[in-house]
Structure 1
């Protein structure tokens, strides 16, 4: 993991020394591993402006990963010859890096801090323990080589994906022998993958008239690599049993993370390119979810109006609703906002956390209730914030037909205001494209579910309070963070809700005039991550209700005195 302070200091020092190109490279290196870090993005843009045209270099890039990314980009652009060149280079680099990684595992036995002072083992135990340590390290090279710098999680199915991309790329350039060879190489890792099995059979049918397809074997380096990997796994299992510790083999290659494109099922019927028959074109599969997808449940309230579902919004687990709250309720919430909001609330005190061209102000439900209890805002209005957020939670829970309780993870009323004199020639977003429970990595087409992301969030919702501003459209994009799949204009009472994972990258376009206000809601299915302030707000509401009931009980009906 990259050290933020070290790289930030390097950026500052090189900038002070007027080495702007090096400063830009240091900033670029950090930003490639931390794409959610908006301050570094701003610094990077400043360095690029001051230094002029520079070729940015990632100082911690892994060459085999750079070639893999280039190959995937060429593949996506249907530049199959270039894709083959890059992916083959990536494979050669991978196997070279694997040798280097395994060599670094050799050496003296490693201890954490002062563990060696307490280490007691006889000669044979020490030898076995040392060997097991080396073996575990070498076995883990699979994970190390599939992990991008700065990330904690590896790219799933990384090595097999090379062969998966190559099998179709070779097919498209008419090299059916190599296509079959790569398909068989992929099947070494996933022998039950139906799509690639069908592709392999199809390639065989293309070769039957000229040669015996059974003479085509998987690539030797893939077979050797996998055979060694399985032997190491067996040794680790036996060693763990003998030395009395538990070893669980990680899932290094997940077949659920197969190549996400339309060329997975063979067919000789559909469109045929000039160089031969084609594989059928299907719909690009949606990103994988951890739970069963359901939607279309009751909206619970008769005045709430359904507008669009997931299909109409070109995505997964999305819904757009209107009339969730009335015009009068919107106006009342705006009045509450004006009375309780502070600049930077919810953004670690930063009044412009995502863009220097807008000011962000926010407040929580608990703060609203406290202000209401103290008489600083009408208590009825403060309670409205609480009530509409609960209404939104119930709608989301019902519409997505969740079979367990949906809890609040965070509730935040937020207004973003366009700063005068800073709106000309804006090309930034009010809120950059992101996902709510993982770190979006457009370059890798991945969303890393690891800190500092709020990995426990499951569903999100935004309830809009006004429309008297310019810009500020909510947008969904593809994983590339560029291709917009849906754009939504906020207005009073409108609510967009969606699942919080990498299947729903989203952001907000620049607010160029006026103030845009909304109630932002994040939910979790795990009660361990319930919002603490919400629990406290529940207690405040319970106390207020009890006081109200007590006051009602003390009221004497005049008729009772007769």
Structure 2
């Protein structure tokens, strides 16, 4: 039996025909197949575009993660034994807001790394000084500080003056030989900085703070434990003109994470610590930097800083 379709009927959204003729059904199926053949290239193109967007999104996410990590080039690997590496960079304007000292205030700026100034054996001896001193206290958080010059020592969530706090017990912790080695190491680093930047070592003065640091993966308890934030030494400490770090433990062997990162525009650079390695740099914004969070183990280093202004100079530590 043939059932006709009433002319002029329109199927709106949500409507459905109750009765269709067999001829109309065949015609609709034929039309759907024709439209499907016509739509196929577009469907393929949509699928291809979707896949491309997913891949592109994944790549951008990966790049963002890389940028957050901030490491795109390694200047000094842990396994390298570097005689001298120096990279010159344009000076920032930070020094213009401070009194300038001709022949000392940076006009040539940059960063250097050397494994040829301090031996690994000397670094181990220096590290034992730090270990003995920090055994008297230590932060509740992940970063502990020992300053032999001022006597500042992390203790819980605060600092104490170890010379006053421990009195005569200090004589059982440190020796004159310890302080002599510390002074000798400081002088050699000072000479290397002067040589690299073409200035007189006599124009440089040790300045504060100069200190040992011990960092592990314990969570921060105070702002003093948050060592990983990017910063500029000349901004943080106005007296700094040249900064150096002597590493006292080995990346990947004694600790994970904890690399030193120069945060350059578009391409960051990192230094992997190695016992006896010295990194040094001008202290202005041309050397914005941070330290990665330590993931495991313990990282030891000593920061030794220099100024061109004699009014901001300090003496070497003495056994009190």
TM-score normalized with structure 1 length: 0.32
What residue number does 2:211 align with?
412
* Match 1:471 to one of 252, 257, 267: 257
Q: Distance in 2 between matches of 1:376 and 1:343?
A: 13
Q: Does 1:487 align with 2:284?
A: no
Verify: 1:386 aligned to 2:183, yes or no. Answer: yes
The structure whose residues are more often strand, as a share, is 2
Contact 2:82 2:113 in 1 (8 A): no
| Residue 509, structure 1, aligned to residue 308, structure 2 | no
Q: In the aligned structure 2, how far is the partner of 1:361 from the partner of 1:323? A: 26
Deviations 1:27-66 (A, max 9, x none): xxxxxxxxxxxxxxxxxxxxxxxxxxxxxxxxxxxxxxxx
Partner of 1:530: 313
Unpaired segments ≥5 residues, structure 2: 1-80, 90-107, 153-161
Q: Is the 8 A contact 2:118 2:185 kept in 1?
A: yes
Deviations 1:226-283 (A, max 9, x none): xxxxxxxxxxxxxxxxxxxxxxxxxxxxxxxxxxxxxxxxxxxxxxxxxxxxxxxxxx
Give the equivalent residue in structure 1 for 2:125: 332
* Offset, 1:376: 2.4
- Structure 1 position 324, deviation (Å): 2.3
Please list, as runs of the form range in 1=range in 2, the aligned pairs for 1:412-431 lying within 5 A after superposition. 412-419=211-218, 430-431=227-228
Per-residue CA deviation, residues 495-521 of structure 1 (Å, 9 max, x unaligned), is: 111111111100100111111111101
1:366 to partner: Cα distance: 6.4
Aligned-residue Cα RMSD (Å) equals 3.3
Cα distance 1:488–1:405, how it changes in 2: closer, same or farther (>3 A)? same
* Residue 382 to residue 367, structure 1, CA distance change in 2 (3 Å): farther
* C-alpha distance in 2 between matches for 1:380 and 1:323: 22
- Alpha-carbon distance in structure 1 between the residues aligned to 2:213 and 2:143: 10
SS at match of 2:213: strand
1:70-469 alignment, distance < 5 Å: 305-310=83-88, 316-341=109-134, 343=137, 351=139, 358-365=142-149, 367=151, 374-403=171-200, 405-410=203-208, 411-419=210-218, 430-438=227-235, 453-467=236-250, 468-469=254-255
**Alpha-carbon contact 1:340-1:363 (below 8 Å) kept:** no
Deviation (angstroms), 1:373: 7.4
More helix by share: 1
Q: Tell me which structure has the larger Cα radius of gyration.
A: 2
State the distance in 2 between where 1:401 and 1:502 align: 20
Measure, in 2, the Cα distance between the counterparts of 1:454 and 1:363.
16
**3-state SS of the aligned residue for 2:229?**
strand
Gaps of 5+ in 1: 1-302, 345-350, 439-452, 544-562
TM-score by length of 2: 0.54
Equivalenced residue count is 199
